[in-house]
Amino acid sequence: MAQALLIVDVQNDFCEGGSLAVAGGAALAAEISELLDATTDFDYVVATQDWHIDPGAHFSESPDFVHSWPVHCVADSRGAALHPDLDTETIDAYFRKGRFAAAYSGFEGLLAPEDEVRAGERSAGDSDENDGDDDAGAEGAVTLDDWLREHDVDAVTIVGIATDHCILATALDAIEAGYDTTVLTDLIAGVSAGPTEAALDKLAAAGVELRRS
């Protein structure tokens, strides 16, 4: 069986200068790149992206930062692109989530086109042919779980942004789906300290291995 590194939402809007920035996001992108350069432990590397078209109440002009948020990671915008300090050369597949509803877990994502522009230079005027596909209903859509099982992956290691939201949701879904799941605690970044610690406690209680890289 195989192991996969799952890079969650290391996108421009979640890093410094973005519309929903997490402190340390840009440095984290570079640190994950260093890990990719230094290790051969993973058979596959997969990345997820928030990719919003019209997510309804997930966007708000008066967000509560729990269920609603400022506009971020709009499909095909620079904010939705992976941070340029993240080395994408070894990434085997990309999964996009949240087109028409809130989506925190990478397991809600769908496989992106192979001819995708991978990192941060893309402008808001560019577009992809399948941006109108519904997350749940796109014909022939491949989910993250589909892809991992097709590639005989039974263990996933998770890094990225944000610990108290998308890392939490992705790791819990990975455990529920039956994957041996590890979160590298030095290669994640949370929105705030209290919820981040609570998220880590919840992950440990669910059976996720928490360790440093």
Active-site residues: which are they?
9, 97, 166
Is 8:160 a contact under the CB 8 Å cutoff? Answer: yes
CB-CB contact of 91 with 46 (8 Å): yes
Alpha carbons 28 and 83: distance in angstroms, whole number: 10
What one-letter code names the amino acid at 93?
A
DSSP secondary structure string for all residues of the chain: -EEEEEEE--BGGGSTTSTT--TTHHHHHHHHHHHHHH----SEEEEEEE-BS--GGGB-SS--SSS-B-S--BTTSGGGSBPTTS--TT--EEEEE-SSS---SGGG-EEPPTT---BTT--TT---TTTT--TTT-TT--BHHHHHHHTTEEEEEEEEE-IIIIIHHHHHHHHHTT-EEEEEEEEEE-SSHHHHHHHHHHHHHHT-EEE--
> What is the number of residues in the chain?
213
